[in-house]
Amino acid sequence: MNIVIFGPPGAGKGTQSDKIVKKYNLFKLSTGDLLRKEINEKSELGIKIQEIVDSGKLVSNEIINRLVEKIVSDKKYKNSIIFDGYPRNLEQVKNLDVLLKENSQKINLVISLKVSLDSIIKRITGRLVCSKCGTIYNEFFNPPVKKQDCCNENTLKRRKDDSADVARNRFQTYTDTTEPIFKYYKKSGLLKEISGENKIDEIFDQITAFIKWIQGWL
């Protein structure tokens, strides 16, 4: 079973991906993780990626597709991948279809977490991180419980890019880039939309219901 999961920044996509991986023993393919792995290993491709990143440019589709191909063609991951953050455009969608077909695989389910811009802004601007223990809170949804030596006004910090303007820009960019992808997957009947406004466990229950339905056809 191969799954693709989408969600705007702050939608909780990473949380749901991790829960899916744990329950169904899938491999989470995150292009960010693949890029960092190549850089850390100082491979020939990793050095090239580091140069691109340092120059402030975006890593090309060609490089991303090469990294994805490594995983898709590896038999130990066959039909057991959740794609998190890939594909990001129609070129990558079509490339993924080709790669999977070449390796006798296909996408079985595409999940889209739908969250309003207002909620995204609250999730991002309300985020607080304790500089001492690393615990993440949200002043709107999960306020910090003050502790004596940490998680207090002295240790709780906001990230510099957790602003309303940044949230709006990220949301708009996500909407613009994913709209053609959703149209593509809707035509194939693979796309299932889930409200990301609900509680984490409620969202996961809906995801598992879709997965059970899919497994009944495999």
Q: H/E element holding 143?
A: none
Q: Is-contact 85 35, C-beta < 8 A?
A: no
Provide the H-helix boundaries in the chain: 13-24, 31-41, 44-54, 61-72, 90-102, 117-125, 164-188, 200-215
Residue where the block lists tokens 């038999």: 75
Whole-angstrom Cα distance, residue 10 to residue 33? Answer: 18
The strand pair at 3-6 and 81-84 is best described as parallel
Residue 104, judged by CB atoms within 10 A of its CB (0-12, 13-18, 19+), counts as: exposed
Catalytic residue ranges: 13, 88, 127, 158, 170
Whole-angstrom Cα distance, residue 133 to residue 98? Answer: 45
